[in-house]
Structure 1
Amino acid sequence: MSRLKLFSLDAGADFAGRVAAALGEPLAAHEERDFVDGEHKLRPLDDVEGADVYLVQSLYGDEHSSVDDKLVRLLFFVGALKDAGAARVTAVAPYLCYGRKDRRTKLHDPLSSRYLASLFECLGTDAVLTLDAHNQSAFENAFRCRTLHLPAQPLFVEFAAEQLAGDGNPIVVASPDVGGVKRAEAFRRALGRRLERDIGRAFVEKYRSGEKLSGGTLIGEVKGASVLIVDDLIAGGGTVCRAAAAIAGGGAARILALASHGQFCGDALADLDRLPLEAIAITNSLPQVREGKSLRVVDCAPLIAEAIRRLHDDGPATQLSVV
C-alpha cells in the first residue's frame, strides 16, 4: 500500500495524538472551520492522493457538540478525503455510535446500526475499525465494507491480573445482566488462563422497560470473593449500580467493574462512587472529563495503533479480533 496518513477531527485530537505516538507517525494537517449558521467544512491540508488514510474519531455527544454533529463531520471528511484522491480511507471509531439498536424488539423498531453502516458506505468508506461494539455480530453484519472489531479483553485481563496479584480470595467474573453473559464468560476463561486458577461465574437479572430498570436477583455464589463485573458500556450507570448492590449484598469481599467505554452521563460517576466499588476500569475510547475516586483508565491507543499498522501492511490484522 502507498504512504500512510493519519487524520483526526479537532474533537478527537488528544486521543489521536496518542495513537500517532504509538504508531510513530505524525498527525496530518487539516482545516476544520465552523460557519456562523452552524454549518462547517473540513478538508485535508496534507496531500492524500494515492494515500492510505486513517481517520480517528470516537462518535459521542458532549457539552460542545452532539453525537450527530461529530458523525456528520466525520462522514463529510471521509467524502473530502475520497474526493482528494485517497486510495483507501478507514474510519477508526474506538467508540461507534448507534450500536444499541441492532435488532427489532418492538413493532416498527429501527435498525439504527444498519442505517449507520449505509451512511459510511455511501461516502465511500473502505473500512471501519472499532473497539468492543455493543454487539459484534450485528456490527459485522451491518456493513458491506471491511470491518475490524477489536476486543478490549486483553487489556482488561492484564489490568485484572495486576489488581488481583496476591489475592487469596475466590475470584468470580459477573455479568450485570443476562445479555452480557457471553462476554463475561469469554473474559472469565481468558482470566483463568492468565492467572492459572479456577474462576467462578455469576450474573444479575435485569429487565428494562423504556428508561426503567427492574430485577436485581443475583445468580451465583460471591460470598468472600473478589468479583469483577464485566460490561461493554457504562452510560447512566444504572445497570452496574444494580449489579454492584446485588453482589455486595451477596457478601463479596472486593468488587471491581470493567467496561470498555465510559460515557458516565449525568450523575453516573458520582452514583458509582457511592457504591462499594474498589475500581471502575474503562478505556480511553471516550475522553474522561470528570474525576472519580475509583476511576481507572486503561490506554487502548497502542492497540488501535497496532491495528492501523497491520491494516496498512496488509495484515495480519484479523488476528487482533480473536480472543
Structure 2
Amino acid sequence: MGDVAMTVPVLRALTKQHPELKITVLTRAFFSPFFRDLEHVEVFPADVKGEHKGIFGLYKLARQLNKKKFYVIADLHNVLRSKMLKKFIRCKRFISIDKGRKEKRLLTSGQIFKQLKTTHQRYADVFRGLGYAVDLSKPSFPKKVALSTKLQELVNNHSKKCIGIAPFAAHEGKMYPLNLMKQVVEKLSEDNQVILFGGGKYESEILNEFENSFDNTINLAGKLSLDEEMDVISNLDVMLSMDSGNAHIAAMLGVKVITIWGVTHPFAGFTPFNQPQDYGLIADREKFPLVPTSIYGNKYPENYKEASSSVAPEVVVEKIKSII
C-alpha cells in the first residue's frame, strides 16, 4: 500500500508539469481512492487474486490493456508479475524502475550507511527516462475534504488539535511497542483529539481498548472505507505512524507526518513525501548498531524486535507538541 501511495505526489507533479499526458494507473481496485483528485489520471483495476491471477490471468489482463493502445509504459514496481505482463503488452516503449537493490543490500549488510535515493525520486527517474522530467521540489496537495455528516459525528472535533495515530505495521520489528504507544496516546489525549487508525479484528480490539481507556480518543479501525479514512486524514493536524502505508497516505495529502523507525531506516529511501528529516524518530544505533537490518522490516535479530523502544514516549509526545 505504501508503494502505491508514494506514486501519488509524483503523478500529481507529472500531470501538472506535463498536462498533455493522459495516465492510466494499473493497480488493485482497493487503491483507486488514492488517485481520486488527480487530473488526467484513471485507474485500471487489476484483480490479481481472481480474474488476473497467474500467467493466464496476466495474459487476459494484457489483452484488455492492449485495447487502450499505450504510447509508453512505466513499470514502477519491477517485480515478476510486471515483467511477465511486459511480454504480453503491445507497446514500443517500456521502462522499469531501478529499485537500487544492490545499494540497499549494502545498506542492510552494514557495508554502507548513507542516504540512498528516495523512492519518490526513483519514480520520477522512470518518467524522466521516458522523456518527461518531473520536478518534485515544489509540491502541491489537495485541499482538506469537507467532512460528511457521518464523519463529523464520528470525529466530533470541537476546536481541539487533531492527531492521527497508526500504531501498526506489516512486521513487528517496524512497530513501536504497544505499551509505550499507550503512554503516548494517554499524554496526547489530555489536550488534543486522538484518532486511531488500523484494520482487521486484532488491531481493532487493541485500539478499542485504547479508546475506552482515554478521553478524546476515537478508534476508526474497521468503521470506514478507504475513501472516508482519507477524508479524515486530510483534516488531521499531524499523523503519527510507523514506517508503513498510513504515513505515505497522510504525506500524499499534505499532512505533517511523524514516523517512528525500528529495524528499518529512512536511509533506504522510504521517508514519507516532503517531510523534514527530524520528523523521523530513529532507533538508537548505539544500542542497535545493525539497524537497518532489512529494507521491509521482515528480517532482524530477535533482540532487535523492539529496537524502536529506544525512542522514549516523552520524545514522541514532545515532537508532536512542537509541531501542532
Give TM-score, length-normalised by structure 1: 0.36
Q: Which has the higher helix share?
A: 2
Q: Which has the higher strand share?
A: 1
Give TM-score, length-normalised by structure 2: 0.36
